[in-house]
Amino acid sequence: QSALTQPRSVSGSPGQSVTISCTGTTSDVGGYDWVSWYQQHPGKAPKLLIYDVYKRPSGVPARFSGSKSDSTASLTISGLQADDEANYYCSSYAGVHVFVVFGGGTELTVL
Amino acid sequence: QVQLQESGPGLVKPSETLSLSCSVSGVSMSTTGHFWAWIRQPPGGGLEWIASIQSNGRISHNPSFAGRTTMSVDTSKSVFSLRLATVTAADTAKYFCARDLYGFTEFDSWGSGTLVTVSS
């Protein structure tokens, strides 16, 4: 069982928007503004999409955005494209004893 | 551009020690403030952080591994390593090395991963 809870799957049609949630506790997501999101295509390494809740690394399209409310972080993908079909993982800093926790992952299907 | 590449045996026997190395190129591992991490993913499963090491050798471990993990770093050779002791079938996974940019908050560069199977 993962420390952060994500929906197992979400889906959307091309051009639509989808939001993936990531629920933790006050010991991780709710306690720090250090939430990251990763995209992983099958057989590939994860790719950093979002860090520090909402910041995007260079080269990540603005279609990907992050936010947080209390102990739940969210990743929103707007203008869905076929290549967005992948697994998405959230992670959070979790303090000086646990350090890092990941979510169980969400499979995005583009219909 | 930072590049990482894992290497090590693909098959380890139960109760033995898993040893992996990660070669880093495109950046100096001595850069202050950067960490280097191991993360694993069991077949069909999610990601699990194992441990991170700083260039000065200071290591932070995932407590769920109950002291089975050891890391080392050789900045002159641009290599860092993982040793996981007393493995079981539950340790079968793809193991990724990654740059842990500022310590536990974002893994911004990843190796392609190496599959390690624990079986007799």
- Main-chain dihedrals φ then ψ at residue B90, nearest 5 degrees: -65, -15
pLDDT band at B32 (very low <50, low <70, confident <90, very high): low
CB hemisphere CA count around A37 (13 angstroms): 30
Per residue, the 3-state secondary structure of A46-103, as one string, reads CEEEEECCCECCCCCCCCEEEEEECCEEEEEECCCCHHHCEEEEEEEECHHHHCEEEE
CA distance B62 to B69: 9
- At A31-86, the pLDDT tens digits run 999 999 999 999 999 999 999 999 999 999 999 999 999 999 999 999 999 999 99
A44 contacts in chain B (CB < 8 Å): 112
B-chain residue closest to A57, CA distance: B108
Residue B113 near chain A (CB below 8 Å): yes
Residue B100 has pLDDT above 80, yes or no: yes
Q: How far is B22 from chain A (nearest CA, A)?
A: 14
Average pLDDT, chain A: 96
B-chain residue closest to A92, CA distance: B105
Exposed, middle or buried: residue A83 (CB in 10 Å: 0-12, 13-18, 19+)?
exposed
B104 contacts in chain A (CB < 8 Å): 34, 93-94, 99-100
Q: How far is B51 from chain A (nearest CA, A)?
A: 9
Contact between A45 and B112 using a beta-carbon 8 Å cutoff: yes
- At B47-82, the pLDDT tens digits run 999 999 998 889 999 999 988 999 999 988 999 999
A51 contacts in chain B (CB < 8 Å): 105-106, 108
Residue A104 has pLDDT above 80, yes or no: yes
β-pairing, B35-41 vs B48-54, is antiparallel
Per-residue pLDDT at A111 = 94
Per-residue pLDDT at A1 = 64
